[in-house]
Amino acid sequence: MRKRILPLFLLLLSPLTLWAWGADGHRAVGKIAEQHLSRHARQEVQRLLGTETLTMVSTWPDEIRFYPEFKETAPWHYVNTPSGLTHDQYVQQLNAQTLPNAYNILEAKLKELKDPAKTQAEKVAALKFVVHIVGDVHQPLHAGHAEDKGGNDIKVQYRGKETNLHSLWDSGLIDYQGLTYTEMATQYDQRLHKRDVKALQKSAPEQWLWESYQACERLYKETPTGSDLNYTYYPQHAELMRQRIVEAGIRLAGVLNETFK
């Protein structure tokens, strides 16, 4: 019994900075994806997950990472690169990295979903990681710098309370708006035309990460450590937050539609 208490205890103590988009953000991504699945992809997802849904399994990789047997998955949630890269340089960096990260693990898990040699359990785990990682790579600070732990070491004040840049983007802005994940998915998903959905689903993970990297570079420049952020920060950045979440959901549906085609 004591072996299970320790990881749960650590889970309670761990900061929200470890949860990209927070639970509500990830679930909003999953909910949006469910609304854009093809009929066949929906059937395949249901066959793998049973009574579970993309919405509810979206947080599973964060929930398990505190257990010793899943310790190796910690780097699977982000990609760190230097600042000042051009698009071509950034893509080169993505392809040159050999250690596990969100980019190469996402590619590996998508291949596992299509591999007939994989067991049902392996495919279920792969699907859960795909759902989560697609959400992760759309959070700008998950394309940050290693030296500041993706903004975790950039300490700021937000509306009079101490936090850090990564935590602010993981959950601070989402919490501020006061919406449930279902409300988020409904409101965000109404903004895009069908042609925009198709365009988003044609893009590749390199593009998703490049967009996050560009946004992250801007956030770094405008929010140095020690910044005192007031009530104006949310309205100035809410559209970027909403955009990245809805894009993650639509693109997640796109890769699943293609994978199960």
Q: Where are the domains of the chain?
A: 2-259
- Under 8 Å between Cβ of 93 and 165: no
Query: Which amino acid belongs to residue 260?
Result: F
**CB-hemisphere CA count at 13 Å for 220?**
22
204 in Cβ contact with 132 (< 8 Å):
no
Q: Which helix (H) or strand (E) holds 239?
A: helix 233-259
Nearest to 38, CA basis, from 204, 208, 198: 198
- Note the pLDDT of residue 51: 95
Give me 222's structure tokens.
Answer: 């405008």
Q: What is the pLDDT of residue 2?
A: 37
Radius of gyration of the chain (CA): 18
What pTM did the predictor assign? 0.91
- In eight-state DSSP terms, residue 180 is -
Give the burial class of 84: count Cβ atoms within 10 A of its Cβ; 0-12 exposed, 13-18 middle, 19 or more buried. Answer: exposed
Whether the CB-CB separation of 30 and 252 falls below 8 Å is answered with yes
3-state secondary structure of 58: coil
Pick the CATH number of 2-259 from 3.40.30.10, 3.40.190.80, 1.10.575.10, 3.40.50.2300: 1.10.575.10
At 82 the pLDDT is: 95
Q: What is the pLDDT along the chain (261 residues), one digit of tens a residue?
A: 333 333 333 333 333 345 578 999 999 999 999 999 999 999 999 999 999 999 999 999 999 998 999 999 999 999 999 999 999 999 999 999 999 999 999 999 999 999 999 999 999 999 999 999 999 999 999 999 999 999 999 999 999 999 999 999 999 999 999 999 999 999 999 877 888 999 999 999 999 999 999 999 999 999 999 999 999 999 999 999 999 999 999 999 999 999 999
What is the pLDDT at residue 19?
Answer: 58
